[in-house]
Structure 1
Amino acid sequence: LSPPLVGAVPPCPPSPGGVIPGVAATVDCNSRYVYLDPYEGAKAVVAEAARNLSCVGAEPIAVTDNLNFGSPEKPIGYWQLASACRGIAEACRELKTPVTGGNVSLYNETIDSDGNPQPIYPTPVIGMVGLIPDLTKICGQGWQKKGDLIYVLGIGESSQNSELKTSPTLGGSEYLAAIHGIVAGKPPTINFELERKVQAVCRAGIRQSWVCSAHDCAEGGIAIALAESCISGKLGAQIQIGFNSANVGRWDEVLFGEMGNCIVVSVAPENQGIWESYLQEHLPKMWQKIGVVGGADSPLRVVSADNLGLIEVGMGDMGDRYWSAIERRIASV
């Protein structure tokens, strides 16, 4: 999905201090997650919407929902609807984002490859708005300048902080669906304690002007989040993942596995000390410095902790696949 929309609050006179507030809005839904686990999947949808807002510096404040489901007169349809509503309610309580309204669309069907009718994937779309205290203190997902340091929030020394332990999974992932044509497995489970901490740290970093860019790790995992940050900023990156080749069973799970609670940010080198001190205090053991922003002619290069090459792709190739994919797909039909 596109980054959240950001704008001033109308009418919007400056405060006595000259600060102009604003709002950000986003919509989100991963229907694969909800199909595979309506309860956990719906919680993940709410958490990702909030994470999107936090990545521009907005405080999530309210939700409207658009509940698209199959027939509730069938047992599985009723279970999906009831479970998803329960998940949305719990996530909204955890994030203090009340549901102010919404609508429901039931009895939705599509046809399978043999032409037989079947219910759509359950799709509870979440629209969420957030408050921006100062419109001059926001950021986007693209890298800002060569030499900025890249951090990942929400992944760290979880073995020493087991109550916050979280890890990527290929269950319900974009990788499984796009590369292998499979929709299966358990989708990510949201740890709301960690989710709140990661989002709060990201917002604080943006408002203090320490964080230059922020992008949540969602569909496609950390590899896609890094690629999208390169494409948006038109700058490459040198990344070292904190695992070595002897201790990883599947690199595709590390690179393309999906999870909640995870944001990639970039920070100017002159702010490294104060930023890392803030992280140590407010997100202990659950962050890593993973790389540095490169130049416009630099690739996205990802290596393991023991320097095993994992990904190396140029800006031209990434941009071509990103901007021309829909045109190519239509032309091939």
Structure 2
Amino acid sequence: YRGLAATVDCNSRYVYLDPYEGANLTVAEAARNLSCVGAEPIAVTDNLNFGSPEKPIGYWQLAESCRGISDGCKALNTPVTGGNVSLYNETLDADGNPESIYPTPVVGMVGLIADLTKVCGQGWQSSGDLIYLLGDDKTLPTLGASEYLAVLHGTIAGKPPRVDFELEQKVQTACREGIRQGWIKSAHDCAEGGLAVALAESCISGKKGAKVKLGLSSTAAVRWDNILFGEGGGRILVSVHPEYQLVWEGFLQQQLGEESDIWQNLGFVGSGSEPLRILADDQGLIEVDLGEMGDRYFNAIERRLNGQA
């Protein structure tokens, strides 16, 4: 049986800081989310939410966002079939002056699933499965406009990631084919929060820990916050049963090149009693158990409403 998958995406912080790249990223992330369940992206509808287009900044944000959506859809061959527009969305600041909402061009995308028995979720499936990171172009992830800056430093600044649509196409195609062949057991895109948060979400959803080595020396002259929480790069985190390791890595070499170019084997899925461990060499960078991750994830809204961190 065939089926449809649908997703709705937009990171308004990206669009606020760079309307063109932010809209590009919205289209790319929507397609990536569909590819992570095994669906081929086929079409888009949009929902454009902006402030006043009569103001120069508002008009620029709207025009650049539309250009970004258009270019993104052309690159991924996903035509816009319709949509709606909501303008003049403003509130009053502390001094009583009109203040626009963040520009929010929401993209709704649908994808075709050729076989409903060949789909994936984001959670780990089995202890011992191998974890791979696809699309790991180390030049693209950035802390600009990131969740890390916003949450930990209270800062909305910097340039958001840029989209490499050629890389997106390669990585998404490889992910979909891996799901169709039955090699991939779980798939999850690295979006807000970067690699560390994507790993945590896969642990929470699958109720299993993981041991991951980043392939970097613990003494390397790198920004560890950028490695762990940098965003962008069209990255997808997948898990594969060990029996498919050789055929899967052979396929990746054909499609994406040699290991460490834009893909790497990171480690393996643990048991339900093991934590998420992220290491450089054998030195630990992050170790957190499932209970603590789940508590932070499932009770975050309640904490925020109660004024807690």
Question: Could you say which TM-score interval applies, normalised by the shorter chain?
Answer: over 0.9
Does 2:120 match 1:139?
yes
Q: Closer, same or farther in 2 for the Cα pair 1:115/1:212, shift >3 Å? A: farther
How many aligned residue pairs are there? 305
Percent same amino acid at aligned positions? 70
**2:218 equivalent in structure 1:** 245
SS at match of 1:182: coil
* CA shift for structure 1 position 246: 2.7
Does 2:153 match 1:180?
yes
Does 2:90 match 1:109?
yes
Q: Distance in 1 between matches of 2:221 and 2:297?
A: 29
Give TM-score, length-normalised by structure 2: 0.96
SS at match of 2:299: helix
**Contact map agreement 1:95 1:196 (CA 8 A) in 2:** yes
Q: Distance in 1 between matches of 2:15 and 2:93?
A: 19
SS at match of 2:219: helix
1:60-85 Cα deviation digits (max 9, x unpaired): 00000000011111111111000010
**1:124 equivalent in structure 2:** 105
**Contact map agreement 1:44 1:260 (CA 8 A) in 2:** no
* CA shift for structure 1 position 168: 1.1
Q: Distance in 1 between matches of 2:35 and 2:221?
A: 31
Q: Closer, same or farther in 2 for the Cα pair 1:318/1:279, shift >3 Å? A: same
**1:9 equivalent in structure 2:** none
**1:24 equivalent in structure 2:** 5
Question: Runs of 5+ in structure 1 lacking a partner?
Answer: 1-19, 159-164
* CA shift for structure 1 position 286: 1.4
**Contact map agreement 1:110 1:120 (CA 8 A) in 2:** yes
Amino acid at match of 2:232: M
* CA shift for structure 1 position 242: 2.0
Does 2:113 match 1:152?
no
* CA shift for structure 1 position 250: 1.3
**2:276 equivalent in structure 1:** 300
Q: Distance in 2 between matches of 1:308 and 1:210?
A: 31
SS at match of 1:61: strand
Q: Closer, same or farther in 2 for the Cα pair 1:115/1:181, shift >3 Å? A: farther
**Contact map agreement 2:140 2:162 (CA 8 A) in 1:** no
**Contact map agreement 2:90 2:98 (CA 8 A) in 1:** yes
* CA shift for structure 1 position 260: 3.3
Does 2:305 match 1:330?
yes
Does 2:171 match 1:198?
yes
Q: Alignment partner for residue 316 of structure 1, among 291, 300, 308? A: 291
Q: Closer, same or farther in 2 for the Cα pair 1:104/1:292, shift >3 Å? A: same
**1:283 equivalent in structure 2:** 256
Moved over 4 A (4+): none
Does 2:198 match 1:217?
no
Q: Closer, same or farther in 2 for the Cα pair 1:74/1:139, shift >3 Å? A: same
Give TM-score, length-normalised by structure 1: 0.89
**1:11 equivalent in structure 2:** none
1:226-274 Cα deviation digits (max 9, x unpaired): 0000000000000001222332331111100101310000000000000
Q: Distance in 2 between matches of 1:110 and 1:201?
A: 45
**Contact map agreement 1:140 1:214 (CA 8 A) in 2:** yes
Amino acid at match of 2:277: R
Question: Runs of 5+ in structure 2 lacking a partner?
Answer: none
**2:162 equivalent in structure 1:** 189
Q: Closer, same or farther in 2 for the Cα pair 1:121/1:299, shift >3 Å? A: same
1:176-207 Cα deviation digits (max 9, x unpaired): 00111100001000000000000000000000
* CA shift for structure 1 position 215: 0.2
**1:91 equivalent in structure 2:** 72
Q: Closer, same or farther in 2 for the Cα pair 1:216/1:113, shift >3 Å? A: farther
**Contact map agreement 2:174 2:255 (CA 8 A) in 1:** yes
Q: Closer, same or farther in 2 for the Cα pair 1:113/1:247, shift >3 Å? A: farther
Q: Distance in 2 between matches of 1:287 and 1:60?
A: 22
**Contact map agreement 2:22 2:65 (CA 8 A) in 1:** yes
**2:241 equivalent in structure 1:** 268
Q: Distance in 1 between matches of 2:304 and 2:186?
A: 31
SS at match of 1:139: coil
